[in-house]
Amino acid sequence: MATRFGKSAFVRGVALLIASTFVLGACAPATQVPQPTTAAPTSAPAATSASATTAPTSAAAATAAPTAAGSGQQIELVVWQVPNSPTMQQIMENMVKPFEQANNIKVTIVVVPWSDLDTQWESAIQTRQTPSFGYMYDFRLPTYYRSGALEPLDQDFSKDELSKYLEQPLSTAMYQGHLYAMPFLVSSDALLYNKAIFQKAGITPPTDPNYSPTWEEFLGWAQKIKAAGFASYDYGFRDIWNHPMDDFYNRFGCHETNDDHTKMTFDTPECAKAVQAWVDLAPTLSEKAKSTAWSPLDEFFAGQVGMAEGGVGVAQQLVQKYPNVDFGVMQPFHDKEYKDYLGIGYYAVFADAKNKPQVIQLLKFLTNEDNQVSFNAAIGTFPALKDTRGRMFPDATGVVKTVADVVWEQLQGGRSKFLYPWPGFSEFADKTFIPNWESLMLGKMSQPDFIKVIQTQGQAAIDANKNSN
């Protein structure tokens, strides 16, 4: 006997299914933003169990923090790290081993690709399935602490401990009087140049590595290098960061907004000069720069580009892979101001992380001086701590040592500046600034039009997001 279920019954069944999922979707529990404790971070130092920031690593690991009380079950902590180095997994696992052994805590390191970082963080926060803590980079950090996704840390670190940190990395992690992340990595760039290309272009470079050329001088070099048949500067058009807004423009005294980020200030003579500078530089750049982000460096390494900006890690790559090429070092160019790029890496604790006491203990362990020194030495950057130059790259010679000295001088001397991302900044940069800047650089937009678009749409973005602060 042939059997068929009724079409109408089937349709009703599907409708019931859809309706039930709608109800299920509507029944999302309301969540409350966790309120930070009322004590300000500069109040009396909180008692800490791992206060020996200069103690040897193994001793710092062997602190008295308990494991899961009475349960006998080993606690597992998960740390999200980015691939600052191709061997990041191994570096981190070696670093946490003493901690694991001393505390009977299992630490799982998950290396998240750069391109997945935001997606993973957003998904984890939305679903409340977060790791213990994770790496986050500077200009994206404010998005998360403004959303209430991060745990305030000011009660866990004493004033004495915080005083050892460089000021700017620490202040960037502050929000409404509370500290929301611990910096453990800072980086800046020196100006590297290919001596052979300089010679062919007829340029006599300065001998002092702390020399900073003026913009006019730098542009003159760029044009001579281009005339000699090379590309001048290894800098990509397709920037996915805030780099062109931050680094380059700030050197001309161009500040996109006023100090409290309530008003767009891009229509100033300084900004007009900065825009003109980019337009003048564009013809001297390489073809590849038109489709790449930031500084691809491979053309510089291959001896096709005269100048590039890079830190200690770049210098180390140069020396290892191209020992026969002679590179020189100096400070990046300046105009009205001496401000260079400052990159900061943070560890931030998720508000939904479990086993908070153990998480804080691990965080203190990873950010102690010994571990900051060893981590940054492995990837060619610097700790976010003051007075650590003597411990960083002690065996470096030649161009690596020179770059390290130049970069440290910028970091310790406050020359490097981080542009604090105002609410809506990332979106404005992606949707408006970068595409229009690309059009400008490709000659498809005039400078007055570019400045007008940035000024008006930037102000609109500030106004639209002013309540998000």
Partner 1 sequence: METTTGITAAEHGQPLSAPRWPGRLGQVLRREWSAYFFIAPAMLLFTVFTIYPAVRTIYISFFNWKMRGNSPFSGLANYQQLLTDTLFQQTFVRTIYLAVVITVAAISLGFLAAILVNDLNGWSKYLVRSAIFIPSISSLIVSTMIWKSFLEPDGFFQRSAAFFGIAWQSWVASPEQAPLAIIVLSVWQQVGYIMVFFLAGLQAIPQTFYEAAEVDGASPWDQLFHITIPLLQRTTLFVLVVTTLTNFKIFEQVFALTGGGPANSTLTLMMYIYQTGFRYSHFGPASAMATVFSVVAIGVALLQLRFLRARFEY
Q: If binding is defined by CB under 8 A, does position 286 make contact with partner 1?
A: yes
In angstroms, give the least distance from the CB of 194 to partner 1: 17
Asked if residue 44 binds partner 1 (CB under 8 A), the reply is: no
Binding-site member from 105, 149, 153, 462 for partner 1 (CB under 8 A): 149
Instruction: Give CA–CA dist 2/150, Å, rounded.
Output: 61
Based on CB atoms, which residue is closest to partner 1, 37 or 119? 119
Query: Per CB under 8 A, which region of 10-18, 72-80, 99-107, 153-161 contacts partner 1?
Result: 10-18
Number of residues lying near partner 1 (CB under 8 A): 55
Q: Which of residues 411-430 bind partner 1 (CB under 8 A)?
A: 426-427, 430
Instruction: Kindly indicate which of the ranges 67-75, 291-299, 318-326, 366-374 contains the residues binding partner 1, using the contact rule CB under 8 A.
Output: 291-299
Give the long-range contacts of residues 22-25, CB within 8 A, separation 24 or more. Answer: none
What Å distances lie between residue 220 and 176, 226, 275, 307, 442, CA to CA?
A: 46, 10, 17, 13, 21
Max CA-CA distance within the chain? 97
- Whichever of 22 and 94 has its CB closer to partner 1, that residue is 22
Pairing between β-strand 343-349 and β-strand 133-137 as defined by DSSP bridges: antiparallel
Least Å distance, CB 300 to partner 1, is 13
Is there binding between residue 447 and partner 1 (CB under 8 A)?
no
Contact call for residue 31 and partner 1 (CB under 8 A) = yes
- Buried b / exposed e over 152-165, threshold 16 CB at 10 Å, is bbbbbbbeebbebb
Left, alpha or beta for 467 (phi > 0: left; psi -120 to 50: alpha)? alpha
What is the Cα–Cα distance from 434 to 395, expressed in whole angstroms?
41
Q: Looking at 331-469, which runs of residues are DSSP E strands?
A: 340-341, 343-349, 416-417
Determine if 35 is a binding residue for partner 1 (CB under 8 A): no
Contact 308, 297 (CB under 8 A): yes
Answer for the pair 175, 142: CB distance below 8 angstroms, yes or no. Answer: yes
Site for partner 1 in 235-264 (CB under 8 A): 237-238, 240
CB 232, CB 305: distance < 8 Å: yes
Residue number with CB closer to partner 1 (55 or 124) = 124
Among the listed residues 431, 443, 448, 449, the single contact to partner 1 using CB under 8 A: 431
In angstroms, what is the minimal distance from the CB of 302 to partner 1? 10
**Residues found near partner 1 in the complex (CB under 8 A):** 1-7, 9, 12-13, 17-18, 21-22, 24-26, 30-33, 118-119, 122, 125-126, 143-144, 147-149, 237-238, 240, 286-293, 299, 351, 426-427, 430-431, 434-436, 438-439, 442, 444
